[in-house]
Amino acid sequence: MGTRAATTRRSFLAVAGVAAAGLAVDAYAGHRPQRAVGRLVRTAGGLQERPRDGAREGSRPDSRPAAVRLLAAPATVDLGGRTVSTWTFNGELPGPELRLRVGEVLRARLENRLPAATTVHWHGIALDNRMDGVPGLTQSAVAPGQGFDYEFSVPDPGTYFYHPHVGLQIERGLYGPLVVEDPGEVVRYDHEAVLILDDWTDGVGPSPEAILANLQRGGMRHAGQAGGTHHGHHGAGAAATFDPTSPLGADAGDVRHPLYLVNGRSPRSPTVLRGRPGERIRIRIVNTAADTAFRLAVGGHRLKVTHADGFPIRPVTGDALLIAMGERYDVQVELGDGVFPLVALAEGKDAQAFAVVRTSLGATPRANVRPAELDRWVVTVADLDAAGAVDLGRRPVSRTHRLVLDGNMATYRWTINGHAHHGAAPLAARQGERVRLVFENRSAMFHPMHLHGHTFQVRRAGERRPGPRKDTIIVRPLERVTVEFDADNPGRWMLHCHNAYHQAGGMMTTLAYEP
Ligand code: C2O
Ligand code: CU
């Protein structure tokens, strides 16, 4: 620790950046240098905040690294041409990037200065159940003015994110990326970027609570327009070439949001990714939206998809990629020479999020450009197979749970096996079992179903191909999807739709088993 205390800020940032992933972070400062990798430091003991006063660092009595501080509080943020009051972590949108190595311990101190109780859930991490951040299930909600210390190790490398697990708080600005690095990473790249996709209404359109109330009153579609705002306010959503067909079916969302963001930036003042022609960039993409699946493409480029929900797949190269709420994908892009649009089409909503990939001088593309790649081969989970190292393999299934997903816009009550909220007994399992889940969607909307604490494997009828490992899986209208997991992480775990409004409307259950 003493050596670090003597390091200057500049070299410290450089060291932290290089240590993070062997990347030249400086060359890739891109959009928001204030939340670059160098803000948080990995140490042997975990993740820690850069000491404000280095000289005092050596005097910590227990010599354990300080916890990362996550201050949940109201804040004013600039979405790019539009300033809004919302709720964030540490005043930033997205919240601070947390980055550590597989097997390390994350220590995070949540301080709640919101006017409401909250928690932090570490989405996708197979962590200690007590740290999972689900109020009423794994902890008590943290009251205003109170705090909570999260401490857990991260067993699997990959791209994750964190968000509260209370009401519609994820629909505000309370989210941030969590990256677990793999020292044995085989994917080679020159730069790395994390992009968080979001749909946004808070402070621009009606509040999330007003939207939900509106939906529950009678299923009014596109409640985001009810407050007198409309998409395309910035000229970004007004793509005249809108195509209503979606790989998710005709009804791909309930709420038309006024804005769609990449890393907290609206199309008017977009996130910019920089690099040099010929370089390979790894983009970690997180969809934290409440009600929006995105179809992402980079104009003039193909996407080599390498990871799904953090876990490696056999790489697939396509033109675009479908990403539902709660899903994460890592893609590799070999940069061309020029200035290119990165577009995340909001499925079924006639609007898009927008960022820029820039390797040379030149004019920025129009924010409503629709790259041809969006209408070519859209990679979906059906195209993906687990990489050999993470294939769960076949073994006898000890028990099968059938989960019928239903609901409708008229009542806005969303159910699993006929029950809403926690009306059903928890799904049972025994430690060590291979468990199968069969999702049957009887509704007219897709549901991205997310299981906490585990990463299941997708099984396809009549196919021997190993499906991808996932923690969030799209179940399309009238579709049946089978997944399997090993019950190797006892506790009480949520299983729910990651559409925030469907979840609030009841589409959730739990899985529980003892050690
Ligand atoms: Cu990201 Cu239970 O959720
Ligand atoms: Cu749903």
pLDDT at 51: 36
Q: Assign domain 36-185 to a CATH class.
A: mainly beta
**Ligand 2 geometric centre to CA of 327 (Å):** 13
Identify the band that residue 317 occupies on the pLDDT scale cut at 50, 70 and 90. Answer: very high
Identify the band that residue 46 occupies on the pLDDT scale cut at 50, 70 and 90. Answer: very low
Summarize the confidence of residues 29-44 as an average pLDDT.
Answer: 32
Which protein residue has the closest C-alpha to ligand 1 atom 1? 123
pTM to 2 decimal places: 0.86
Q: Which of 39-43, 81-85, 445-449, 472-476 has the lowest mean pLDDT?
A: 39-43
**Ligand 1 geometric centre to CA of 123 (Å):** 5
Summarize the confidence of residues 314-338 as an average pLDDT.
Answer: 98
Average pLDDT, the chain: 85
Give yes or no for residue 388 having a pLDDT over 60: yes
Give yes or no for residue 89 having a pLDDT over 90: yes
Tell me which residue of 503, 475, 473 sits closest to 485, measured CA to CA. 473
**Cα→Cα distances 447→254, 318, 365, 425, 508, Å:** 12, 24, 33, 21, 11
Give yes or no for residue 57 having a pLDDT over 80: no
Sketch the domain layout of the chain as residue ranges.
36-185, 389-514
Identify the band that residue 64 occupies on the pLDDT scale cut at 50, 70 and 90. Answer: low
Identify the band that residue 462 occupies on the pLDDT scale cut at 50, 70 and 90. Answer: confident
pLDDT at 19: 29
Tell me which residue of 426, 481, 435, 479 sits closest to 454, measured CA to CA. 435
Which protein residue has the closest C-alpha to ligand 1 atom 3? 123
**Ligand 2 geometric centre to CA of 59 (Å):** 50
Q: Tell me whether domains 36-185 and 389-514 share a fold.
A: yes
Identify the band that residue 220 occupies on the pLDDT scale cut at 50, 70 and 90. Answer: low
pLDDT at 17: 30
404, 440 Cβ separation under 8 angstroms:
yes
pLDDT at 331: 98
Summarize the confidence of residues 164-191 as an average pLDDT.
Answer: 95
Q: Which of 68-77, 188-197, 237-246, 274-283 has the lowest mean pLDDT?
A: 237-246
List, in order, residues 6 or more apart from 402 with CB less than 8 Å away: 417, 438, 440
Mode of pairing for the β-strands spanning 83-89 and 508-513: unpaired
Ligand 1 atom showing the smallest separation from residue 496 Cα: 2
Q: Assign domain 389-514 to a CATH class.
A: mainly beta
- What residue spans of 318-467 are helical by DSSP H? none
